Amino acid sequence: MTNRALNFHSLKTLTAKEALFFFDEVLQLKDSFKKYRTFLKYYKPGQEKLVSLIFLESSTRTRFSFETAIARLGHKSISFSSKEGTSLDKGETLVDTLETLLAMQPDAFVIRYGLSKKLDDHLAQVTVPWVNAGSGVEAHPTQALLDAFTIYEKYKSFENIKLVFVGDVMHSRVAMSNLQLLSQLGVELAVCGPRALLPQSEAWKEVKAFERLTEALSWADVCMGLRIQKERHEPQTMSFLEEYKSDYCLNNQNLKSLKSDGLVLHPGPFVPFEDLDPEVLTDARCKVRAQVENGVYVRAVILANLLGMERAQ
Ligand code: CP
């Protein structure tokens, strides 16, 4: 992969060739880990590096998978995981907080943040290597990479694959990064949900839309459920919620419409009986836990490249 593609701020410019090259490296790292239970058979152990994890929004899987990947690569991380208990509480700005953490000379950092034009502009000037762990409603590149890798693991190719996003596509940074990546890879995309949750922006103009869930599931090979991003909605616009649960929550009954060799994905977290009935986790087509596992390998490959680790084999 070229250095240009190692900018994991967004996937806007990642080509299909670069993505496939990346997935091949992830696959090799995963195979090696399954055999040896370490990443240090695949990458040469090197000088210990320090990575700062700056999470200005809540996270379980993204934050802990980065931490796991860093530890398994033989490096150290320090973590900033909420506003509470930090000087953000005293009125320090996000930009000053970032610069304070960078003054401690980490070798790289990983950042999750909400909508902030000032922080966006500032990050564009930062010279320390960094990875976007989710920004506003715009991008979640490492999630899209692990989603696409999970599809690739099953089908070995993206040819003739159709994927439908179900739910709050409008507020989903996961869907936005997947749109950028999966379109490059030739996946045919669709969205399904009540009109209030479907995206209206130019980026989605060419994407097919379904209102009926069973129709969408019959069309698709891969179904990706999405959580309703309540934190990004005005409470008064949530009147659709009860109807949503009965019409769009993925369950074993409506998933009968999906192909027997289809895939059910969800980036998580899911809200039981709202966007996903937990019974779906027992469906062999459901790879929600595999996505979490793959997140560690995907993020390890990104960090190993970012930190200049050499391959051992
Ligand atoms: N998918 C995802 O970003 O999950 P977390 O918010 O738990 O990191």
Mutate to test the pocket of ligand 1, among 53, 57, 59, 177 (most ligand atoms within 8 A of CB): 59
pLDDT confidence of 237, banded at 50, 70, 90?
low
* pLDDT, mean of residues 16-22: 96
Q: Would the CB of 229 count as within 6 Å of ligand 1?
A: no
pTM across the whole model:
0.95
| CA angle, 65 then 69 then 72, to 5° | 135
Lowest mean pLDDT among 89-98, 238-247, 248-257, 302-311: 238-247
Per-residue pLDDT tens digits for 25-45: 999 999 999 999 999 999 999
User: 7: pLDDT confidence band, cut at 50, 70 and 90?
Assistant: low
Q: How many CA atoms does the CB half-sphere of 207 hold within 13 Å? A: 30
Q: Measured in angstroms, how far is the CA atom of residue 113 from the centroid of ligand 1? A: 12
Residue with CA at minimum distance from ligand 1 atom 3: 62
Give φ, ψ of 63 to 5 degrees. -65, -50
pLDDT at 234: 74
pLDDT at position 1 over 50: no
Nearest to 132 by CA among 148, 116, 154, 155: 116
Cis upstream peptide for 269 (omega within 30°) = yes
The pLDDT assigned to 3 comes to 39
Pick from 187, 184, 181, 105: nearest CA to 142: 181
Provide the mean pLDDT of the chain. Answer: 94
pLDDT exceeds cutoff 70 at 5: no
Protein residue with its CA nearest to atom 5 in ligand 1: 59
Written as six digits, the tokens of 33 are 């880990």
Question: What percent of the chain has pLDDT above 90?
Answer: 85
What is residue 81's predicted lDDT score, i.e. its pLDDT? Answer: 81
Q: pLDDT tens-digit profile of 200-215? A: 999 999 999 999 999 9
Per-residue pLDDT, 233 = 82
96-112: per-residue pLDDT in tens? 999 999 999 999 999 99
> 273: CA distance to ligand 1 center in Å?
19
Question: How far does residue 203's CA lie from ligand 1's centre (Å)?
Answer: 23
User: In the structure encoding, which two tokens stand for residue 269, read together?
Assistant: 């977290």
Concatenated DSSP letters for 248-310? H-B-TTGGGGS-TT-EEE--S---BTTTB-GGGGGSTTB-HHHHHHHHHHHHHHHHHHHTTPP
CA 313 to centroid of ligand 1, rounded, Å: 32
